[in-house]
Structure 1
Amino acid sequence: MDAGASPPQAGATSRKEIPATHENSPAVSRRLRALIPLSALILAFVLAFTAVHHRHLLQVWLIEAGPLGPLVSIAIYVGLVSSPFVSSDILALLNGAIFGFWEGAAINCAGVMLGGVSTYLIARRAGEFLDIHEDLERLPPWVKRLPVGSPLFLLALRVVPWVGGTIANNVAGFYKIAILRHLWTTAVVALPVAIFTAYAGWRAVGLLR
């Protein structure tokens, strides 16, 4: 730019300001893109409702699905993990009981990790529709003392019974925490639990025979 050029007058529109109207249009497209994670969240609620209130039907589905049973179970598992305040423990136990320890553990591990990624992406896109701050306020005092988003905070969250994992997934996405940090903190806590619940389901079948 010429050093002697006078600055633009107040109220005048310079060439660099023209794209500003162009930048407003993405606000609409962002809202449209938010419909995708919202739709995924609604689907997750439907799957969660089926798993909780129609457990026997779910068991029949998994058995009758045959070779596709593991894939069906993983899809439902992802829905459960993505649903706030719904535990995936029922399905994790069923996987061990139906598919055996090793296959059930593999299904649980795949489901919990894919569910963690899907919840992370949903919260990253549509976090404003989630009550993240209210969830954080309801956490135990010893968790709230930790810096939000730190590895120790995410690990501690997952120790909170019942809802800790879901809140951790939502927090990681909402605050745009690095995906690698989210994945390894998920794996450290969630994978051992997924393996143990598959073992518990497998052992329960053996004891009942």
Structure 2
Amino acid sequence: MPAMLLRIALIGGWIIGMLAIAFWLWPSLPALQSDLTVLHENLQHGQGWRDRNPELAILSFVAVFTVAGALPIPAVVAMTLAGGAFFGFWTGLILSLAGTVLAAVVSFLMGRHLLADLVRRYLGRRIDQLDRMVDRDGALALLSLRLTPALPFFVLNTMSGLSKMSLRLFVVVTTLGVLPNKIILSGAGTQLAEVQDVSDIFGPRLIAAIAALAAFPWIARWLSRRIRQRTAVRTEQAR
């Protein structure tokens, strides 16, 4: 019964939220339509430059993504959405995945070689916990942390750099761990690029993309919990 009430409350809250957004946007629809037109025109101009300079566009995007993602600023989500909007789903997905992994590697190496003392001073206890998790669960320890947004991207990367984890394992697990999120965000970015009219905001594809973004953290937590439970069972059986 409580679970059913929770579902009803969540659905009701979502409906109320969508209605509230609609009423909030209603008075400013003309201005919003004008802004959407300008944004779409700018995007088309940018895509025209991309078509004329494909190699430069790809290299520039991956380079900016790598630098921004390696810094302690929340840029990864915005850059992935931009990749889907600017390059389309598949190309945006591949480039965003490459930029994310490269940014993670840069942060990992910074934590291991350049910022070791600083990171150890502030995150020493968490690094020790990560080492114990890796000793106990192996690659699944990092995978569960990648799936859930428990730690900021930059923090987890630099912590991993000071742990016992090898760079090869870090790259493989990071690629697998961020892939589901990249798929959802690239898809959402692609849908955002197709918004030309105010009515498109409430179209089924964009609503589905927003719903997927909202649901992903819950699904990721469930997957992470299942991974930890299975690992714990295997550990007990091994004993």
Could you tell me the TM-score, scaled by structure 2's length? 0.52
Per the alignment, residue 147 of structure 1 pairs with: 132
1:128 aligns with 2:113: no
Per-residue deviation, residues 161-181 of structure 1 (Å, max 9, x unmatched): 284332222122122521121
Q: For the residues of structure 1 that align with 2:175 and 2:45, how far apart are their CA atoms?
A: 28
Per the alignment, residue 188 of structure 2 pairs with: 200
Could you tell me the TM-score, scaled by structure 1's length? 0.59
Per the alignment, residue 111 of structure 1 pairs with: 99
Q: For the residues of structure 1 that align with 2:113 and 2:130, how far apart are their CA atoms?
A: 27
Letter aligned with residue 154 of structure 1: L
Deviation, 1:81, is 2.0
**Do the aligned residues in 2 keep the contact of 1:74 with 1:107 (CA within 8 Å)?**
yes
Letter aligned with residue 65 of structure 2: Y
**Number of aligned residues:** 147
Deviation, 1:137, is 5.6
> Per the alignment, in what secondary structure is the counterpart of residue 194 of structure 2?
helix
Q: 1:60 to 1:111 in 2, by over 3 A?
A: farther
RMSD of aligned residue pairs (Cα, Å): 3.1
Deviation, 1:145, is 8.4
Per the alignment, residue 9 of structure 1 pairs with: none
Letter aligned with residue 115 of structure 1: A
Per the alignment, residue 39 of structure 1 pairs with: none
Per-residue deviation, residues 126-153 of structure 1 (Å, max 9, x unmatched): 13254345347689xxxx5882444233
Q: For the residues of structure 1 that align with 2:99 and 2:124, how far apart are their CA atoms?
A: 25
**Do the aligned residues in 2 keep the contact of 1:147 with 1:153 (CA within 8 Å)?**
no
Deviation, 1:87, is 3.2
Deviation, 1:182, is 0.4
Per the alignment, residue 80 of structure 2 pairs with: 92
**Do the aligned residues in 2 keep the contact of 1:87 with 1:163 (CA within 8 Å)?**
no
Q: For the residues of structure 2 that align with 1:159 and 1:200, how far apart are their CA atoms?
A: 18
Q: 1:168 to 1:145 in 2, by over 3 A?
A: closer
1:188 aligns with 2:176: yes
> Per the alignment, in what secondary structure is the counterpart of residue 147 of structure 1?
helix
1:171 aligns with 2:159: yes
Per-residue deviation, residues 22-74 of structure 1 (Å, max 9, x unmatched): xxxxxxxxxxxxxxxxxxxxxxxxxxxxxxxxxxxxx7996546321121110
Query: Pairwise mapping of residues 38-77 of structure 1 onto structure 2 (< 5 A)?
Result: 64=49, 66-67=53-54, 68-77=56-65
Q: 1:208 to 1:134 in 2, by over 3 A?
A: farther
Please identify the structure whose Cα radius of gyration is greater: 1
Per-residue deviation, residues 85-142 of structure 1 (Å, max 9, x unmatched): 4231111101111111111111111111111222222212113254345347689xxx
- Provide structure 2 residue ranges, at least 5 long, that are not aligned to the other structure: 1-42, 198-239
Greater helix proportion? 2
Q: For the residues of structure 2 that align with 1:170 and 1:61, how far apart are their CA atoms?
A: 38
Q: For the residues of structure 2 that align with 1:60 and 1:171, how far apart are their CA atoms?
A: 40
**Do the aligned residues in 2 keep the contact of 1:127 with 1:174 (CA within 8 Å)?**
no
Deviation, 1:190, is 1.0
Query: Pairwise mapping of residues 31-42 of structure 1 onto structure 2 (< 5 A)?
Result: none
Letter aligned with residue 124 of structure 1: R
Q: For the residues of structure 1 that align with 2:77 and 2:110, how far apart are their CA atoms?
A: 22
Residue number among 116, 125, 146 corresponding to 1:158 in the alignment: 146
> Per the alignment, in what secondary structure is the counterpart of residue 98 of structure 2?
helix
